[in-house]
Amino acid sequence: MRVALLCPDMSNDSTERIVAHLRAWIAAAPAGARLPSSRALTRELGVSPVTVQKAMHQLNALGLIETRPGVGTFVRAGRPPSPVDFGWQTGALGTPRVRIPSLSSTQQVVSPDAIALHSGYPTRELLPTKLVQTAIARAARSASAAARSPAGGLPELQTWFANELAGATLAGAPPVTGRDVIILPGSQSGLSSIFRAVVGPGQPLAIESPTYWGAIVAAAQAGVVLVPIPTGSDGPNPETVDDVLRRSGARAFYAQPTFANPTGAQWSPERSRAILDIVRNRRAFLIEDDWAHDLGIDADPAPIATHDTEGHVIYLRSLTKSVSPALRVAAVIARGPVRDRIFTDLAAETMYVSGLLQTAALEVVSQPSWRAHLKRLRMELRTRRDFLAESVAEHVPQAHIENVPAGGLNLWLRLPQATDLARLSRDTAAHNVFIAAGDEWFPAEAASPHIRLNFSGPEPERYPEAARAIGVALTAQGC
């Protein structure tokens, strides 16, 4: 059986037209009939081999053909398989304890030509890529490539994290040692374990609002009850923190005192000491997420953990944003029984972190060129931040930049009260501009609409184009 030759202009037609033509041929052919070879189809249909291959992939995905290696391609016997009915699982699973969003807007995959302002990670050119590649190659040749690492982490990496914090610890505070450090497969895993081990299901957790969306998801997964504390460009009001801890009975407060995500806020030394005193007086814990420790622009990080003398601060630090998303390595530093409780939960969940990744991460941050990279990164982030802020100010007059951050990766924009965020995201995406709607960062209702824009993504020269698209979309809403 031969395929009828299509009209002469078929060579310029789409893959979809070829698929439609072949589907008609298959419908008329008996089950098991052999299709002409790709070479024959290329010649008879007057198209390229790549186009034929794409059409064959689609037909195979539709269940209409089957390929037998070394034999040929045949019309599949019978109808395409019906979709599997998983309805029985509804009854078996029951009602979910909590509803957790399956995917954040920051995690959506976009086309390479899109202007991506939604992501939470720096683009490749801002990372020490060559350092990472060399470190991974060396780690692959080391003993860690075939060994199980200790549950708490490689001692050398534990010591590095401890020394980083100990170097800034005030006189009089007990020294931080490697024994206080637990290596994590990314800080998200640490948050989940901390919330389970320190707070517990059904118990209150004080949390900044807005705050990191991943912490909100981790809290929901752990079943803790979130108690929002309003925060702004200077951080939360200490009196409000004290009042919330008193009224709620919460024994833990999750916060990002340094270059907070999404607001970019950095607490002043006075505010940091005041809140630490409140936490100490309430005999509570401060869960300090120092996610942007290496991302300072106009200021340096000043971890509150360096002032902790009695084990009230549970300190998180990640290398994912500054080293590489491929090296998901982080650490939690805690002292006293709380460290052991967190460790027990983590060990039950992850057992241990890949020694290969730990060795590679340690290799990167131990190189003299690591510090040089951080200096270059600071300058590049400053340039990008300022250019995006200027673009927003020029083309999005409806938006208010609440804080030009002294570090981090994001601008936080307050929009007119009437803004429809879902529509705004759709309209900008239609112009190939992707943003992150701000409602994901609020543990309760948002007081006003916001969007978060990442200034560390690819192609910063397109920031004005992106800002114009946002401004046009807001104008179309009457804002």
Query: Mind listing the pLDDT tens digit for each residue in 407-423?
Result: 999 999 999 999 999 99
The yes-or-no verdict on residue 353 having pLDDT over 90 is no
Residues 167 and 62 in one domain: no
441 in Cβ contact with 213 (< 8 Å): yes
Taking the C-alpha atoms of residue 317 and residue 306, their distance in angstroms, rounded to an integer, is 13
pLDDT confidence tier of residue 11, bands split at 50, 70 and 90 = very low
Is the residue at 2 inside a domain? no
Residues whose CB falls within 8 Å of the CB of residue 99, separated by 6 or more in sequence, listed in order? 220
Residues whose CB falls within 8 Å of the CB of residue 335, separated by 6 or more in sequence, listed in order? 174, 176, 180, 311
Strands (E), 364-431: 400-401, 410-414
Residues 403 and 458 in one domain: yes
If one compares 236 and 14, the residue with the highest pLDDT of the two is 236
Residues 211 and 332 in one domain: yes
Structure tokens at 323: 């080293």
Q: Which amino acid is at 75?
A: V
Spatial CA neighbour of 432 closest among 407, 455, 462: 462
46 in Cβ contact with 6 (< 8 Å): yes
Q: Which amino acid is at 172?
A: G
Quick one: average pLDDT of 247-251? 95
Structure tokens at 176: 């931080």
Taking the C-alpha atoms of residue 313 and residue 308, their distance in angstroms, rounded to an integer, is 6
The yes-or-no verdict on residue 258 having pLDDT over 90 is yes
Structure tokens at 386: 């300022």
115-139 pLDDT, tens digit each: 999 988 899 999 999 999 999 999 8
On average, the pLDDT of the chain sits at 88
Spatial CA neighbour of 252 closest among 231, 283, 221, 210: 283
Taking the C-alpha atoms of residue 193 and residue 170, their distance in angstroms, rounded to an integer, is 28
Residues 347 and 377 in one domain: no
Quick one: average pLDDT of 290-309? 94
Domain residues for 52? Answer: 8-75
The yes-or-no verdict on residue 104 having pLDDT over 90 is no
Quick one: average pLDDT of 267-271? 96
Is the residue at 248 inside a domain? yes
Residues 184 and 139 in one domain: yes
Quick one: average pLDDT of 249-265? 96
Is the residue at 388 inside a domain? yes
Q: Which amino acid is at 245?
A: L
34 in Cβ contact with 25 (< 8 Å): no
CATH of the domain at 41: 1.10.10.10
Is the residue at 84 inside a domain? no
Plot region of 283 (φ>0 → left; ψ -120 to 50 → alpha; else → beta): left
Taking the C-alpha atoms of residue 470 and residue 302, their distance in angstroms, rounded to an integer, is 35
Look at the chain and report how many structural domains it folds into. 3
Residue 411 sits at φ, ψ, to 5 deg, of: -105, 140
Residues 250 and 311 in one domain: yes
Residues 161 and 267 in one domain: yes
pLDDT of residue 8: 42
Residues 346 and 299 in one domain: yes
CATH of the domain at 450: 3.90.1150.10
343 in Cβ contact with 395 (< 8 Å): no
Name the domain boundary from 367, 388, 412: 367
Quick one: average pLDDT of 182-207? 93
Taking the C-alpha atoms of residue 332 and residue 339, their distance in angstroms, rounded to an integer, is 9
Is the residue at 92 inside a domain? no
Name the domain boundary from 348, 367, 386: 367
Residues 307 and 437 in one domain: no
pLDDT of residue 25: 84
Is the residue at 255 inside a domain? yes
Residues 111 and 142 in one domain: no
321 in Cβ contact with 214 (< 8 Å): no
Taking the C-alpha atoms of residue 256 and residue 417, their distance in angstroms, rounded to an integer, is 26
Residues 296 and 413 in one domain: no
pLDDT of residue 151: 84
Is the residue at 216 inside a domain? yes
Residues 193 and 245 in one domain: yes
435 in Cβ contact with 473 (< 8 Å): no
Spatial CA neighbour of 330 closest among 250, 243, 214: 214
- Looking only at the bridges linking them, the beta strands covering 252-255 and 285-289 are parallel
Name the domain boundary from 311, 336, 367: 367
If one compares 109 and 325, the residue with the highest pLDDT of the two is 325
DSSP state of 170: P
Residue at token pair 């637990």: 182
Could you give the 3-state DSSP secondary structure of residue 316?
Answer: strand
What b-and-e string marks burial along 318-356, b requiring 16 or more CB atoms within 10 Å of the CB? bbbbbbbeebbbbbbbbbeebbebbbebbeeebebbbbb
Is the residue at 446 inside a domain? yes
Taking the C-alpha atoms of residue 268 and residue 274, their distance in angstroms, rounded to an integer, is 10
Judged on CB neighbours under 10 Å (0-12, 13-18, 19+), 90 is exposed
Residues whose CB falls within 8 Å of the CB of residue 326, separated by 6 or more in sequence, listed in order? 132
Residue at token pair 């991943």: 214
Residue 100 sits at φ, ψ, to 5 deg, of: -115, 130
